[in-house]
Amino acid sequence: MKSMAIIFAGALMLAPLSFARPAAPPADEGAKDENNRLQNAGTVIQEILDVPEDIPQDLMDKARCVVVLPSVLKAAFVVGGSYGRGTMVCRTGKDFSGPWGAPAMYALEGGSVGLQIGGEATDFVILVMNNRGVQSLLHSKVKLGGDASVAAGPKGRTASADTDAYLRAELLSYSRARGVFAGVSLEGTTLRPDEDANHRLYGKEASAALIITEPKFDAPESGKTLVRRLQKATPQLKP
């Protein structure tokens, strides 16, 4: 009888443990799609920057941010409400002139891009060339060509980036499909923070603006290839 009482008391002590709620996983553990997106973006930027004829080095040296949207399909733009998903990485510091920081998640929507890219998966890269362009993208949806000026970016080692069109543009855009890399017009599309994805990746308190401007956010493991490759290509802003 005494032994039965001991067993019963032990069961009561252990009972609360069986109903205890498991600890919450890290913010990026449930963000499989976002982590895949960052890994793909890292692959895209590696392959593009490894070809010197693609983006002129002086443009990379002047860019405040780089937006990478890997494997965007035409179908994503003809189905209502769908969009291409990607990420934006910016230089740190008050004037966006320091080392490259943590990537924030972004979405590209609609416009005429579906007619331009055909049925093939297309990678897009957008360079944000000045602080005004960065600020316009931090908080809300931006119409390219309307709210922010955009131009098809020049390519080649000797391409001139000092023409009026490029100096006026806040964003310079490129595409890569079937191995062909070229400047592309993205006028009429919109670019916005993908805040649901940012929350899944970094936690509920995260927003694109905070990720890009606050030093407390570190790039997740899946985004480190992207950040390291940008840092290697252009470690500091050049006037």
* pTM for the structure as a whole: 0.82
User: Region 148-165: what's the mean pLDDT?
Assistant: 74
Higher pLDDT, 161 or 86: 86
- pLDDT confidence band for 121 (50 / 70 / 90): confident
Distance CA(186)–CA(208), nearest Å, equals 21
Tokens of 67: 């937006």
Q: Are residues 155 and 183 in contact, defined by beta-carbon separation less than 8 angstroms?
A: yes
- Give the type of residue at 164: D
Distance CA(82)–CA(79), nearest Å, equals 6
Sign of CA dihedral 70, 224, 228, 207: positive
**CA–centroid distance for 12 within its chain:** 51
pLDDT of residue 223: 97
Provide the mean pLDDT of the chain. 82
Q: What is the residue extent of each domain of the chain?
A: 30-233
Higher pLDDT, 90 or 184: 90
pLDDT of residue 117: 47
pLDDT, tens only, 72-90: 865 544 444 346 899 999 9
User: Region 185-192: what's the mean pLDDT?
Assistant: 90
- pLDDT confidence band for 65 (50 / 70 / 90): very high
pLDDT of residue 73: 66
